[in-house]
């Protein structure tokens, strides 16, 4: 995971824009984990959640709805 985050600094890695209710968020795939992040302004990246692929999207949607 550490290597993935270091690569994310240079926008390297398996990065994908998320759609539908998670539009504006991106995910970085690191083995069986996914890191959800947003780009705040320009080159600033804010990592907001990390978890195993099996559960991350459902759990993150719950978090978003609570805000």
Q: Is the pLDDT of residue 67 over 80?
A: no
The stretches of the chain forming alpha helices (DSSP H) are 2-8, 53-66
Query: Can you give the residue range of the structural domain that contains 35?
Result: 2-66
Number of domains in the chain: 1
Contact yes or no for 8/45 (Cβ under 8 A) = yes
Q: Cα separations (Å) of 24 from 2, 3, 18?
A: 23, 24, 7
From 24, 39, 33, select the one nearest 53 (Cα to Cα): 33
Q: What is the CATH classification number for the domain harbouring 51?
A: 3.30.2310.20
Per-residue model confidence as pLDDT tens digits over 9-43: 888 999 999 998 889 999 999 999 999 999 887 77
């Amino acid at each position: 995971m550490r290597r993935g985050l270091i690569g994310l600094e240079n926008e390297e890695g398996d990065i994908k824009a998320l759609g539908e209710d998670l539009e504006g968020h991106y995910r970085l795939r690191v083995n069986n984990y996914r890191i959800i992040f947003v780009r705040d302004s320009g080159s600033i990246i804010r990592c907001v959640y990390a978890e195993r692929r099996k559960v991350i999207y459902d759990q993150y949607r719950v978090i978003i709805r609570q805000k």
